[in-house]
Amino acid sequence: MIAPLVLAAVALAAAASAQTDDAAPRASVPRREQFRVIYEWNVIDYEWASAEDREIYLNTSRYIPKNVLISGINFYGGNLFVTVPRMLEGVPATLATIPVQQSDTAPRLRPFPSWAANAVGDCAALQFVQNVEVDRNGTLWILDNGRVGTLTQNPDAKCPPSIVLIDLTTGKNEMERIPLPADVINPKTTYLNDLVVDNRHDDDYAYITDNSADDPGLIVFRRSDKKAWKIRDNSSMRSMPEATTFRINGTVLNLSVNIDGLALGPPMLTTNADIDRTLYYSPLASYHLYAVNTSVLRNESLARAGQNALRSYVRDLGTKASQTDGMKMDAAGVLFYGLIGNSTIAEWNSTTDFRTGQRTIARDPTYIQWVDRFTFDDRGNVYVVINRLYKLITNKVSLDEVNYRILKSHTGSKSYVWAEEPAGARPVPGSAVAHAASWSLLLLACARVLA
Ligand SMILES: *[C@@H]1O[C@H](CO)[C@@H](O)[C@H](O)[C@H]1NC(C)=O
Ligand SMILES: *[C@@H]1O[C@H](CO)[C@@H](O)[C@H](O)[C@H]1NC(C)=O
Ligand SMILES: *[C@@H]1O[C@H](CO)[C@@H](O)[C@H](O)[C@H]1NC(C)=O
Ligand SMILES: *[C@@H]1O[C@H](CO)[C@@H](O)[C@H](O)[C@H]1NC(C)=O
Ligand SMILES: *[C@@H]1O[C@H](CO)[C@@H](O)[C@H](O)[C@H]1NC(C)=O
Ligand SMILES: *[C@@H]1O[C@H](CO)[C@@H](O)[C@H](O)[C@H]1NC(C)=O
Ligand SMILES: *[C@@H]1O[C@H](CO)[C@@H](O)[C@H](O)[C@H]1NC(C)=O
Ligand SMILES: *[C@@H]1O[C@H](CO)[C@@H](O)[C@H](O)[C@H]1NC(C)=O
Ligand SMILES: *[C@@H]1O[C@H](CO)[C@@H](O)[C@H](O)[C@H]1NC(C)=O
């Protein structure tokens, strides 16, 4: 069942770029290669143990093809990792891989780490994965929300919301499951949506968006002691009434979805010679992009200081032409993001003013229907998942049409996790010094691989 490959020349819409462009002198934009469709699916299928297995899953409604939507994407060692959130019933595996190099244009998903590790109701297995990240040490960070059927009448909190870590460098794919405590994250209402990982000299941190309808916030997770805390800010993390209406190729729907996509800027030197980074985020139903220093988020006492404690640290960078789901920053601080109502992929160099620095890099009403997530590989390519999420939400998925695509473009960039630290940072005191030394060896090794 090899579908003909459609090489969509997605327009480089220089003439039709975002309205903000007109007001500002046009900065020199590096010429981007056009996005090409590398995979497209009417329906997502898996690599089954046997044809009989597939039939059993179909017969027992554990595989309902029209309910299987790809959402998140990441890259490691020649594979793309794709996530399949269990928003509806009939999703047999929630995390899977596809080899980057292959001839099939609608490849089957291989459950990762295994079929068994994707069993619904088994709390040693993955339940509901919306996004994953691979850090610079080859560790896969998996957000497992634990609750399945989020778009059904009866969402079911099967297992505690957890962070699951897999060291991909060993090839053993052993899962370390770290449940998040119920007093920090309510398992009945939380929605662990997306994450970025910050490999610091003193520790590894994950910043996670919880787009819970009841209690949205940013969860900070520290790896060394597995501690997590949640920071809330109503004014920047909740949906905004003026942005709850989505228009995609004639479909109109209302979604008041809270804080969703996020991105991490390159390390910067503070006046105290510490390393800090900027975290960028936006609610799905919002036109605004917000920024906050991660040093502020890492301060645990801020989480206890109540609702308005974060407000003075949050910067509103300005507005976008439409709503954004996923976003991703490269190592040079260039943000890639979608503009849902404009069928557009856009970029912004974060050293420039957001209000005038946004650029359209691709626009196409046929091929770009709901930009979900981005990833970079190790060869300067960016990949993006387009998934027509609005069709799933409105129960209008038709298996006679292409529903899911992965587009690719060569940008010469790599993920924010590889961003270099500026010189002059204070050495990390105590035991962490040894840590820092092995770190620079690792950097050298990686520099060679990437050269
Ligand atoms: C699946 O259902 C069909 C129709 O009811 C039946 O013929 C078939 O034997 C079933 N397959 C399996 C593996 O149970
Ligand atoms: C990288 O992972 C290895 C294996 O888990 C671990 O021993 C090492 O400490 C990690 N290094 C960093 C910098 O996190
Ligand atoms: C969306 O919300 C707007 C404003 O509240 C309302 O006028 C409109 O009818 C709603 N549309 C749909 C499709 O629900
Ligand atoms: C964020 O960090 C940068 C670099 O240290 C600093 O210049 C800036 O004032 C900080 N912003 C806020 C709002 O704290
Ligand atoms: C952490 O946050 C608390 C509460 O807002 C504040 O009093 C304290 O000064 C902050 N600590 C640092 C190191 O910024
Ligand atoms: C934040 O918003 C929620 C929902 O609108 C409301 O219940 C809560 O009181 C708000 N908190 C603050 C501090 O404004
Ligand atoms: C982008 O889409 C929004 C609707 O989401 C629309 O109001 C706006 O005019 C569009 N902007 C451009 C530049 O096409
Ligand atoms: C971002 O903008 C700055 C200032 O204009 C420029 O020096 C830098 O080269 C740009 N970065 C990229 C990756 O285009
Ligand atoms: C966009 O909408 C039109 C009109 O409903 C429809 O004919 C067309 O197939 C749609 N395009 C896509 C790519 O869904």
Question: Three-state secondary structure along 329-370?
Answer: EECCCEEEEEEHHHCEEEEEECCCCHHHHEEEEEECCCCCCC
* 420 phi, psi to nearest 5 deg: -80, 150
Residue nearest to atom 10 of ligand 6 (CA): 234
Residue 429: predicted pLDDT: 65
Cα angle 181, 118, 177 (rounded to 5 degrees) comes to 30
Distance of CA 241 from the midpoint of ligand 7 (Å): 17
Which pTM does this prediction carry? Answer: 0.90
Ligand 7 atom closest to the Cα of residue 18 is: 13
Tokens 């007109």 belong to which residue?
22
Q: Assign residue 206 a region (left: φ > 0; alpha: ψ between -120 and 50; beta: otherwise).
A: beta
Residue nearest to atom 13 of ligand 9 (CA): 366
For ligand 9, say whether the CB of 250 is within 6 Å of any of its atoms.
yes
Q: What domains can you pick out in the chain, each with its CATH number?
A: 20-450 (2.120.10.30)
Distance of CA 83 from the midpoint of ligand 5 (Å): 37
Cα angle 26, 27, 31 (rounded to 5 degrees) comes to 105
Residue 375: predicted pLDDT: 98
3-class secondary-structure state, position 114? coil
For ligand 4, say whether the CB of 258 is within 6 Å of any of its atoms.
no
- From the list 160, 290, 288, 308, the residue with the least C-alpha distance to 231 is 308
Are 232 and 221 within 8 A, CB to CB? no
For ligand 5, say whether the CB of 309 is within 6 Å of any of its atoms.
yes
Long-range contacts (CB closer than 8 Å, 24 or more residues apart) made by 99-108: 100/75, 100/377, 103/2, 104/2, 105/2, 105/3, 105/4, 105/5, 105/38, 105/39, 105/40, 106/1, 106/2, 106/3, 106/39, 106/40, 106/41, 106/42, 106/45, 107/39, 108/45, 108/46, 108/47
Nearest bound ligand to the CA of residue 18: 7
Distance of CA 249 from the midpoint of ligand 9 (Å): 6
Ligand 6 atom closest to the Cα of residue 306 is: 13
CA distance 97 to 117: 13
For ligand 5, say whether the CB of 332 is within 6 Å of any of its atoms.
no
Residue 1: predicted pLDDT: 32
Distance of CA 393 from the midpoint of ligand 2 (Å): 40
Mean pLDDT (10-residue bins), the chain, 451 residues: 34 35 43 88 98 98 98 97 98 97 95 98 98 98 98 96 98 97 95 98 97 97 97 97 96 96 98 96 98 97 88 97 98 98 97 98 96 97 97 96 97 96 80 41 37 33
Count the Cβ atoms, other than its own, within 10 Å of residue 434: 10
CA distance 376 to 382: 4
Distance of CA 163 from the midpoint of ligand 2 (Å): 17
- From the list 141, 183, 131, 184, the residue with the least C-alpha distance to 166 is 141
Residue 31: predicted pLDDT: 58
Distance of CA 283 from the midpoint of ligand 1 (Å): 45
For ligand 5, say whether the CB of 299 is within 6 Å of any of its atoms.
yes
